[in-house]
Amino acid sequence: MKKGKLLMAFAAIALVLTGCNKDKGDTRTPEQKVDAAIEAVRNDWKAGKYAEDGVIEDFALMTSVDGISGVTITYTSDNAAVRISEDNKTAIVTRPEHDQSDALVTLTANFVCEKVSKDTKLGVMVLKKAAPVDETSVAEIQAAKDGTVVSMTGIVVGRSILDPKFDNFTAYVQHATEGGLYIYRAPGSDYDKLAVGNQVKVTGTKGSYSGLVQIAASTKETWQVEVLAENQTLPEYTDITSAVSSVEGNDNSKVSTLFQSTLVQLTGFRVTSVEQATIVDGVLDGSFNVLGMVGNTETMIRVKDDISESAALASTFQGFTAGDVLTVKGVGDWYNEFQLVPFSVEKTGNEEFTDQEKVDMAKESFSFNTSSVTADFKLPVTADHGVTVSWSSNNAAIAVNDENATVTRGEEDVTVTLTATFTLNDATATKTYEVTVVGTSSVETSTVLTRDSLFAGITETSYAAHNGDHVVNGYTVTTNQVMGQNNDKTANLDALQFQEAKGTITVKNISVTKVTLITVSTYDYDNNFTFQIGNQTLTPTISTRDMGVTNAGG
């Protein structure tokens, strides 16, 4: 009996002695393992920027390190602003009140392997709570200056999926009385708080992008989501058909912005075109547009791939054709004008468009952005809905032959009127454009580089094939790589952001001494662009406006 107990005791001692070296392939000593674990934890801590940027919520603690077995890690804190959970896996954060200072906390991490025990100190800054912000109406928030800290209460009526790369998401919150706000880049830790149906109070930085008004989680100190109630009944859909069809000048940019981020319905939406989508194994890969008429107002349905309810309708929308009449329910969105993100759709009939209606629609959607020229250029000869375009000129300075426009420059500038005639069978319509032929004595000192000017006449939604030489107002502009968002999906040129870390725009035949790039994003552009004039490299002046979301169309 004593012999059996002795064997058991010996086995237990052996386990303790060999526990730190149970990986037979790891020949490191216990001290080497501890040192390696300390280095790994410190590197992870540095990457998390817990001391530099600060924290506002609980965060996970490393209790083991991949590839290092037998090392136990435990934590203690010197300040109640950060408590360690009983299982030693979570740092529980309590933020100081807004009238107190940020809390500077030191965590002590203890590393043990066999008889080797070492400590390392890890700093944490717990940010104080933001000062209380009075709630205001959505209209007042829309009128506020971008960057203002604002607060609103409402019900979450829509939400994107969680972006695994950036660990953030977007949401739509509708106010109880009127209007709503788009929640931009909320951190993944708030995903459950901003669940559809939750009544929440959201505080953050007011921003806007192409007219879409939002509360952004851009600043940790001011961002806060408080859940007031869960699983609330969603607001009823508001039928805004009359408001859209009767809007001034049939201009959707003049639709009330209070329809943004609210549940709305369009009846009698008459499809004009459906953009081809990529659907792989039933999953939508990339958002797409469905254009249609609400009365005489052209309106866009934006089927978004990152909103589950919308993406689920992709195949249904792909089956619609011109003339189909729909009732569409969804959430109001904005991209320079009103658009609707669908949550449900029903086909109620079909009314084919007449040739004249097709011609009129093609005329309205036609894009021709050339305003001044110094060299020959091409004219677009096709438009939407199978409509052809022919051209005429009122001045020999621009001679037109089918798609070819031949430019003859004199000493002085000459303004030429080009007339585009849109034709489908017997139906026609015309539209005029003024183009300046720049005289040889003129000296151009500046040009504006924008999405529209860089890619004039390009109507595709993806610009992946359009890096290279382009004529911008008569000047040759070259981009050395594709411009757009830094992802593999449809490029968004509103931000004029290169897909790689740095790119070059070269203006070949223009005298420029200074280039000002206007961006519309929160990204840092100071080191993202190089401008060259011949062999001369210019340093751009960077300014920003409409700070906010870069994938509003996405």
Lowest mean per-residue pLDDT among 48-62, 188-202, 496-510: 496-510
pLDDT digits (tens, 9 = 90+) for 127-176: 988 888 888 899 999 999 999 999 999 999 999 999 999 999 999 999 99
Q: What is the pLDDT of residue 129?
A: 85
Q: Work out the average pLDDT over 219-225.
A: 87
Q: Is the pLDDT of residue 294 over 90?
A: yes
Architecture of domain 138-229: Beta Barrel (2.40)
Phi, psi of 455 (to 5 degrees): -125, 45
Q: Is the pLDDT of residue 307 over 60?
A: yes
Q: What is the pLDDT of residue 428?
A: 97
pLDDT digits (tens, 9 = 90+) for 518-537: 343 433 434 444 444 444 45
Q: How far apart are CA 100 and CA 342, in angstroms?
A: 46
Mean pLDDT of the chain: 82
Q: Is the pLDDT of residue 513 over 70?
A: no
Q: How confident is the model at residue 23 (pLDDT cuts 50, 70, 90)?
A: low
Q: What is the pLDDT of residue 418?
A: 97
Q: How far apart are CA 511 and CA 443, in angstroms?
A: 8
Domains 2-126 and 238-352 in one fold: no
Q: What is the pLDDT of residue 549?
A: 34
Q: Work out the average pLDDT over 210-217.
A: 93
Q: Which CATH number fits the domain 359-437, given the four candidates 2.60.40, 2.60.120, 3.40.50, 2.10.260?
A: 2.60.40
Q: How far apart are CA 396 and CA 403, in angstroms?
A: 16
- Spatial strand order in the sheet of 103-113: 72-77, 103-113, 116-126
Q: How confident is the model at residue 364 (pLDDT cuts 50, 70, 90)?
A: confident
More confident residue, 538 or 550: 538
Q: Which CATH number fits the domain 238-352, given the four candidates 1.20.140.10, 2.40.50.140, 3.40.50.720, 3.30.530.20?
A: 2.40.50.140
Q: How confident is the model at residue 26 (pLDDT cuts 50, 70, 90)?
A: confident
More confident residue, 4 or 32: 32
**Is 2.60.40 the CATH classification of the domain at 2-126?**
yes
Q: What is the pLDDT of residue 219?
A: 81
Q: How far apart are CA 275 and CA 339, in angstroms?
A: 15
Could you give the angle at the alpha carbon of 371 between the alpha carbons of 369 and 377, nearest 5°?
80
More confident residue, 235 or 470: 235
Q: Is the pLDDT of residue 371 over 70?
A: yes
Q: Work out the average pLDDT over 455-469.
A: 45
Q: What is the pLDDT of residue 20?
A: 63
Which among 460, 507, 467 is positioned nearest to 483, based on CA atoms? 467
Lowest mean per-residue pLDDT among 20-24, 47-51, 55-59, 358-362: 20-24
Q: Is the pLDDT of residue 3 over 50?
A: no
Which among 437, 433, 431, 470 is positioned nearest to 453, based on CA atoms? 470
HSE, CB side, 13 Å, CA atoms: give it for residue 476. 8
Q: Work out the average pLDDT over 286-310.
A: 96
8 Å CB contact between 152 and 214: no
- Residues 6 or more apart whose Cβ sits within 8 Å of residue 139: 178, 179, 258
Q: Is the pLDDT of residue 542 over 50?
A: no
Q: Is the pLDDT of residue 464 over 70?
A: no
Domain ranges for the chain, please list them.
2-126, 138-229, 238-352, 359-437, 451-544
According to the per-residue pLDDT averaged within each range, which of 20-29, 192-201, 437-446 is highest? 192-201
Answer whether 0.85 is exceeded by the pTM.
no
Q: How confident is the model at residue 551 (pLDDT cuts 50, 70, 90)?
A: very low
